[in-house]
Chains A and B, each alone.
Chain A
Amino acid sequence: MARKTYIAAIKEALAEEMRRDSTVFLIGEDVRIGVFAGTRGLHAEFGDLRVIDTPISELAVAGAGVGAAATGLRPVVDLMFGTFLYLAFDQLANQAGAMRYMYGGQVKMPLVYMVQNGGGISAGHHHSQAVHPFFMNMPLIKVVFPSTPRDVKGLLKAAIRDDNPVVFLNHIALGGQRGEVPDNDEIIPLGQGEIKREGRDVTICAAGMMVHTALKAAAKLAEEEVEAEVVDLRTLKPWDEELVLASVAKTGRFVALDESYPVCGGASEWCASVAEKGFASLKAAPQRVSNKPVPMPFSPVLEKAVIPSVDDVVAAVRKTLS
Chain B
Amino acid sequence: MNDTILDIYTRMLRIRRFEEQVGKLFSQGQLPGFVHLYIGEEGVGAGVCAALRTDDYIVSTHRGHGHFIAKGGDLNAIMAELFGKATGCCKGKGGSMHVADVSIGMLGACGIVGGGLPMASGAALSARLRGTDQVAVTFFGDGASNEGSFHETLNLASALKLPVLFVCENNQYGEFTPADKAMNIKDVADRAGSYGIPGVIVDGTDALAVYDVTTAAVARARRGEGPTLIEAKTHRRSGHAEGEEAFLAGQQYRSEDEKAAAQAKDPILVLRSTIIKQEIATAEQLDELDRDVTQAVAEAVAFARASADPAVETLYEDCWI
Whether A124 lies near B315 (C-beta < 8 A) is: no
B113 interface neighbour in A33, A40, A56, Cβ under 8 Å: A56
The answer for the CA separation of A125 and B309 in the assembled complex, in Å, is: 18
Q: Does B183 contact A (CB under 8 A)?
A: yes
Whether B94 lies near A29 (C-beta < 8 A) is: no
B98 interface neighbour in A40, A60, A126, Cβ under 8 Å: A126
Whether A53 lies near B112 (C-beta < 8 A) is: no
Q: Which residues of A contact B316 (CB under 8 A)?
A: 292, 294
Q: Which residues of B contact A301 (CB under 8 A)?
A: 84, 92, 309-310, 312
B143 interface neighbour in A56, A84, A122, A295, Cβ under 8 Å: A56
Which of B98, B177, B312, B314 has the most A CB atoms < 10 Å from its CB?
B177
Given contacts A124-B94, A125-B98, is CB(A29)–CB(B312) below 8 Å? no
* Interface of A (DSSP majority class): loop
Chain A contact residue count (CB 8 A cutoff): 35
The answer for the CA separation of A1 and B315 in the assembled complex, in Å, is: 44
Q: Across the two chains, which residue of chain B brings its CB closest to A125?
A: B98
Q: Does B1 contact A (CB under 8 A)?
A: no
The answer for the CA separation of A58 and B95 in the assembled complex, in Å, is: 24
Q: Which residues of A contact B306 (CB under 8 A)?
A: none
Give chain B nearest CB distance to A55 CB in angstroms.
Answer: 4
Q: Does A298 contact B (CB under 8 A)?
A: yes
Q: 1/0 per position for B77-104, CB-CB distance to A under 8 A?
A: 0000100110000101111111000000
B175 interface neighbour in A30, A122, A297, A305, Cβ under 8 Å: A30
Whether A299 lies near B110 (C-beta < 8 A) is: no
B97 interface neighbour in A53, A123, A306, Cβ under 8 Å: A123
Q: Does B32 contact A (CB under 8 A)?
A: yes
Q: Does A39 contact B (CB under 8 A)?
A: no
Q: Which residues of A contact B174 (CB under 8 A)?
A: 29, 55-56
Q: Does A57 contact B (CB under 8 A)?
A: yes
Q: Does A59 contact B (CB under 8 A)?
A: yes
Q: Does A35 contact B (CB under 8 A)?
A: yes
Whether A125 lies near B146 (C-beta < 8 A) is: no
Q: Does A263 contact B (CB under 8 A)?
A: no
Q: Does B33 contact A (CB under 8 A)?
A: yes
Give chain B nearest CB distance to A274 CB in angstroms.
Answer: 29
Give chain B nearest CB distance to A178 CB in angstroms.
Answer: 17
Whether A55 lies near B182 (C-beta < 8 A) is: yes
Which of A33, A125, A127 has the most B CB atoms < 10 Å from its CB?
A33
Task: List 26 contacting pairs A-B, 8 Å CB cutoff, sorted by A.
Answer: A33-B176, A53-B177, A55-B177, A56-B114, A56-B174, A84-B112, A122-B33, A122-B84, A124-B94, A126-B98, A126-B111, A127-B97, A292-B316, A294-B315, A295-B93, A297-B92, A298-B93, A299-B32, A299-B85, A299-B92, A299-B309, A301-B84, A301-B309, A302-B315, A305-B312, A306-B315
| A interface with B by C-beta (< 8 Å) | 29-30, 32-33, 35, 40, 53-60, 83-84, 87, 121-127, 292, 294-295, 297-302, 305-306
In the A-B complex, the 7 residue pairs with the smallest Cβ-Cβ separation, listed nearest first, are: A298-B95, A126-B111, A122-B32, A55-B146, A299-B84, A299-B92, A122-B33
